[in-house]
């Protein structure tokens, strides 16, 4: 048992009331990791609560059935009061306080107890008492399983824990097809199936449940808003707030759309720009010799993995796209 794993076990053993904090705009890995860690702590006689900086997308909400959780955006005071009565804070699936948003960051900056970061994104900043960072691992969900295994606590991993881990691994690896997936990933997936995790139900919940508005929005985006950059293997889609309103946009309706762009034959970099009240949310994807994380960090306040990164712009949509096209030559290897 390494020193950091021993410290993690000691912190868990000494904990009672625990707060679990994923990143803002929680994706499948953030939600799956939070759910898995919630059940793991319950199974070890702790009292956990998840606080999301903002609400997860509707398609992820069924995975929160039976979970004690708050949404900071809608219940900030209650969240802060809970923080004051918690002795341990687990920061899952993010490696910098800014990733929880400018409001929810107070949950981290004012916390007085033991804090632990468990994450797989590169270039972490130091903001917790214990930092468990393994960028080589495909997902935070897999990293949680590895931590539990290394603490010799797998006996407390049940179907509920396994479902969260499966959700996190599946969504953060593009259904197990990204280069970050290794033999260990498939070994863990097999163990989860042995626990009774119904993998097909998780796939159906994520990929096979759509609204008519969502499908029409995606069709419009691909047919009317796709831009392929001449002489470059780069394409993007941008969506204005008005266009989102036209199709009764719900959070999560554009999830996976950037991967559709990347699937176009001959294209290795994809970007999706989605306008909101606060600015422009950006998703980048790439493959082969094209990497997007440093580009996102340099120009769009973002970061992530080599082949998958996010960003944000406080400028208008048109200015944001102009900046992207101005510097896209930096993406060419």
Q: What is the pLDDT of residues 66-107, one digit of tens each?
A: 999 999 999 999 999 999 999 999 999 999 999 999 899 999
Indicate if the pLDDT at residue 244 is higher than 90: yes
Average pLDDT, the chain: 95
Indicate if the pLDDT at residue 15 is higher than 90: yes
What pLDDT band is residue 209 in, cutting at 50, 70 and 90?
A: confident
> What's the average model confidence in pLDDT over 19-24?
97
Indicate if the pLDDT at residue 281 is higher than 80: yes
What is the reported pLDDT for 258?
A: 96
What is the reported pLDDT for 1?
A: 83
54 backbone dihedrals φ, ψ, rounded to 5°: -145, 170
> What's the average model confidence in pLDDT over 134-159?
97
Report yes or no: 171 and 206 within 8 Å, Cβ to Cβ: yes
Domain 212-331 class? alpha beta
What is the reported pLDDT for 169?
A: 98
> What's the average model confidence in pLDDT over 172-187?
94
β-bridge pairing 280-286 and 308-313:
antiparallel
pLDDT digits over 106-116, tens only? 999 999 999 99
Instruction: Express as a percent the part of the chain with pLDDT over 90.
Output: 91
Indicate if the pLDDT at residue 304 is higher than 90: no
> What's the average model confidence in pLDDT over 124-151?
97
Distance (Å, whole) CA 239 – CA 283: 12
Report yes or no: 60 and 92 within 8 Å, Cβ to Cβ: no
Neighbours of 133 (CB within 10 A): 17
What is the reported pLDDT for 55?
A: 95
Instruction: Express as a percent the part of the chain with pLDDT over 70.
Output: 100
Give domain limits for the chain.
3-207, 212-331
DSSP code of residue 269: E
What is the reported pLDDT for 290?
A: 94
CATH of span 3-207: 3.90.1640.10
Place of tokens 């107070």: 106
- Kindly tell me the sign of the dihedral angle through the C-alpha atoms of 237, 241, 243, 246: positive
The answer to whether the predicted template modeling score (pTM) of the entire model surpasses 0.75 is yes
């Amino acid at each position: 048992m390494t020193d950091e794993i021993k410290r993690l076990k000691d912190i868990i053993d000494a904990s009672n009331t625990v707060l679990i904090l994923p990143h803002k705009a929680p994706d499948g890995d953030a939600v799956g990791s939070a759910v898995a860690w919630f059940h793991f702590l319950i199974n070890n006689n702790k009292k956990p609560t998840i606080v999301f900086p903002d609400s997860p997308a509707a398609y992820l909400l069924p995975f929160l059935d039976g979970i004690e959780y708050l949404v900071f955006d809608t219940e900030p005071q209650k969240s802060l009061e809970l923080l004051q009565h918690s002795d341990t804070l687990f920061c899952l699936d993010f490696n910098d306080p800014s990733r929880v948003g400018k409001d929810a960051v107070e949950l981290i900056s004012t916390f007085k107890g033991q804090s632990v970061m468990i994450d797989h994104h590169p270039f972490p900043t130091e903001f917790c008492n214990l930092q468990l960072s393994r960028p080589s691992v495909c997902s935070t969900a897999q990293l949680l399983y590895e931590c539990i295994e290394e603490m010799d606590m797998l006996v407390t991993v049940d179907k509920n824990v396994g479902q969260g881990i499966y959700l996190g691994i599946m969504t953060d690896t593009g259904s197990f097809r990204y280069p970050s997936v290794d033999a260990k990933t498939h070994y863990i997936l097999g163990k989860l199936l042995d626990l009774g995790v119904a993998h097909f139900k998780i796939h159906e919940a994520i990929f096979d449940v759509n609204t008519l508005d969502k499908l029409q929005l995606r069709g419009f985006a691909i047919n009317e808003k796709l831009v392929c950059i001449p002489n470059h293997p780069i394409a993007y889609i941008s969506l204005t707030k008005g266009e989102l309103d036209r199709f009764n946009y719900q959070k999560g309706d554009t999830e996976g759309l950037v991967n559709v762009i990347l699937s176009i034959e001959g294209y290795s970099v994809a970007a999706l720009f989605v306008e909101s009240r606060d600015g422009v949310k950006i998703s980048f994807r790439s493959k082969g010799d094209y990497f997007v994380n440093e580009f996102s960090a340099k120009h769009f306040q973002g970061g992530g993995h080599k082949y998958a990164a996010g960003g944000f712009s406080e400028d208008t949509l048109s200015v944001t796209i102009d900046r992207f096209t101005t510097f896209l030559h930096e993406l060419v290897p």
